Structure 1
Amino acid sequence: MQPVELDVRAVLRDGGEPFPLIMQAVAGLKAGQPLKLIANFRPVPLCQVMQKKGFSFADREIGHGDWEVIFTPIGAESASEQCKPVNRSAQTVIPEIWPDPMHYLDYSLPDQGAVTEEILRLLGRIDEGAVIFALFSAEPHFLVPELEKAGHQWVGNFDASGEAYRMMIRAGAQ
């Protein structure tokens, strides 16, 4: 069965939140029909949400930082890939061995300003290995490349409601 294709790159570039569009597309799928999503980052937290909804996935980078992800209902053609948070640093991310967070940040209200810059400044002031917990109203897709570029580790996902995004960030070497 042909997948429904949804390209959310323009929405993301304009600072919009594609999650409602994605869930609308999922709701419109026929039984067994896959969804092909195209985004300008690897949507790891969405993979976790989709697994809870009964989908497996297969993803691949298609160039220029863009990703294609095919979500397939489990029971139809399934993918063997497991959805795990990705950190492109050479270190493996194992949050279970991280210390408890030192700082708890709440960015769950809209229009919180320069969140990325604020978090990066805080990471520059805390010890290597220290952990920050942050809550967001949407997936902080602009923050992730900056964290990785600066050598910080992160894990994140949506809460059970799918409305709040939770992230733990472990400070890398300064």
Structure 2
Amino acid sequence: MSTDHQESVQELDVRDVDGEPFEQIMNALDSVGESEALRLVNSFEPVPLYDVLSKKGYQYDTEQVADEEWHVTIRPE
């Protein structure tokens, strides 16, 4: 899919979050608009999050960029 405009991407780095970052991720997603995306930066692949994202109507792309760095780009469907 090609787009003529550059989408706006917010970045949320949860690698230093003490405890479970789920609530912060959901809050950040609430502020993402139709033509925006959220790039989640995490130290592991957040597999449990995928089911939640799918149920809430989001699509996502996951990329491992380093040994302990994963980027998950999340967009509204």
Q: TM-score range by the shorter chain?
A: 0.7 to 0.9
Task: Calculate percent identity across the aligned residue pairs.
Answer: 39
Residues of 2 paired with 1:33 and 1:47: CA distance? 18
The TM-score with structure 2 as length reference comes to 0.84
Residues of 1 paired with 2:51 and 2:11: CA distance? 19
Which of the pair has more CA radius of gyration? Answer: 1
For 2:11, the equivalent position in structure 1 comes to: 5
The root-mean-square deviation of aligned C-alpha atoms, in Å, is 1.1
Runs (5+) with no aligned partner, structure 2: 1-6
Residues of 1 paired with 2:51 and 2:68: CA distance? 20
The answer to which structure has the higher strand fraction is: 2
Shift of 1:65: 2.1
Aligned length: 71
Ranked by relative contact order (alpha carbons within 8 Å, sequence separation 6 or more), the top structure is 2
Indicate conservation of the 8 Å contact 2:12/2:41, yes or no.
yes
| CA offset digits 1:10-43 (Å, max 9, x no partner) | 01xx4x1101100110111112311100000001
Runs (5+) with no aligned partner, structure 1: 75-174
> Residue 45 of structure 2: SS of its match in structure 1?
coil
Which runs of 4 or more aligned residues in structure 1 lie more than 6 Å from their structure 2 counterparts after TM superposition?
Answer: none
